Amino acid sequence: MSAWTREAVEALGPTTNVKTAASIVDIDPETVYAAIRREQWDLTRVLRIGRRILIPTLDLITLLYAPTDLAPTVPAQCQHDASRQVTGQQSQSQCGCTPTATGVVHQLRGA
């Protein structure tokens, strides 16, 4: 791991050059340039502006400092009744809810 802190990466501004990005991820700059040339660099986006190659610092921050202990996601309760297009409840295979009544879909005005 490099000696770069999150604050130091953020202080670089919105983008940085390949040499600095390589230092941040602790990879030899020539390896990064070669991967970019072969279109095999997938750790971050690559911005080509003329002959310049820039790396978004937000991509580096996300790569290095993304939260590792994400809370498990809990499916939201169905909101079929809140839909302006559906009256009653509508069966949705994606959320797995079961209808208590048959829903009727109405076309929105102006659609």
pLDDT by position in tens, the chain (length 111): 558 999 999 999 999 999 999 999 999 999 999 999 999 999 999 999 999 999 999 999 999 987 766 566 655 555 555 555 555 544 555 555 555 555 566 666 665
Q: pTM above the 0.75 mark?
A: no
The tokens of 19 are what? 């040499």
> In the β-sheet with 15-17, what is the strand arrangement from edge to edge?
15-17, 52-56, 47-49
CA torsion angle for 53, 57, 63, 65 (degrees, to 10)? 160
Scan for tokens 């095999």, then name that residue. 40
Residue with tokens 């340039």: 33
CA gyration radius for the chain?
24
